[in-house]
Amino acid sequence: MGVVRVGLIQMLVEESKEKNLSRAEEMVREAAGRGAGLVVLPEMFNCPYSNEFFPPYAEQEGGYTWQRLSRMAGERRVFLVGGSVPERGEDGRIYNTSYIFDDRGRQIGKHRKVHLFDIDVEGQYFRESEILAPGSRATVFATPYGRMGVMICYDLRFPELARLLVQKGALVLVVPAAFNMTTGPAHWELLFRCRALDNQVFALGVAPARDEKASYVSYANSLIADPWGRVVVRLGEEEGILVEDLDLGEVEKIRAALPLLKHIRRDLYEVREKLQD
């Protein structure tokens, strides 16, 4: 375990896929230029977050967006969590998918959103399940700094998935997400602090910048929570790049001082997860 400099990309998302990819490329370049070794894009960064856009924007793995992401990672020599994009699976269904690349541009992981966002809260209605299919894997990937787990937005609300990622060795939870203006002010910071605290890990939340004219308005506020449950740094609503050093040795230090993961009563309440490795 060592120190990793992370770059969280909070970008505005437009209707033009090409403009979104070009903007992502510019911001990844800037983050890498500031020394980031791990760069993260937001959820659905190449298309507006709306069911009507997911089918026409969906691409198969290895498609145009995948190739652009691979090139960004390889050219800038960064590990890249490519936010998420609509993926047309081999089964013909559409998934909310995050591709992960190493610093040579090779895919080293892939996470399909496990929990679909179906809600009707205070006028905020959304049903991803009308268009999207759920994933079935708990995704952890290896880096020179340590192992990291990926969740996408609504996945964050399920502590069972976060704990499973930690049991698989994750020291950092990377979460491309797009909370809205109802759930964001109420739960965004709280959930990241909780997942970081109860698993003694760093938790990174990466959201699109806020666009008040969009049909779905992102809360933004990309942030980092540390293993003690503190918010280390956060952005506001505007576009921006959050660059911060994470000392992953803090995970081991805090777990040694407060060894709650060793005190888990697996005989009493451990959940038997069925997600695939």
| 274 noted as active-site residue | no
Q: How far is CA 131 from CA 27, 49, 155, 193, in A?
A: 30, 12, 17, 31
Catalytic, out of 47, 153, 189, 194: 153
Q: How far is CA 254 from CA 10, 108, 138, 185, 229, in A?
A: 29, 29, 24, 28, 11
The one-letter amino acid at 235: L
- β-bridge pairing 202-206 and 172-176: parallel
The secondary structure of the chain in percent helix, strand, coil, rounded to multiples of 5, reads: 30, 30, 40
What span, in angstroms and rounded, lies between the C-alpha atoms of 43 and 128?
13
DSSP, collapsed to helix, strand or coil, labels residue 171 as coil
Catalytic, out of 17, 47, 110, 113: 113
| 168 noted as active-site residue | no
Write out the E strands in the chain: 3-10, 38-40, 79-81, 85-88, 94-101, 107-112, 118-121, 124-127, 139-143, 146-150, 172-176, 202-206, 223-225, 231-234, 240-247
Residue 244 in tokens: 């911060």
Q: How far is CA 213 from CA 69, 113, 184, in A?
A: 27, 26, 17
Catalytic, out of 43, 87, 189, 237: 43
| 59 noted as active-site residue | no
CA 90 to chain centroid, in Å, comes to 23
Question: CA torsion 16→135→168→63, rounded to 10°?
Answer: -40
Catalytic residue IDs: 43, 113, 153
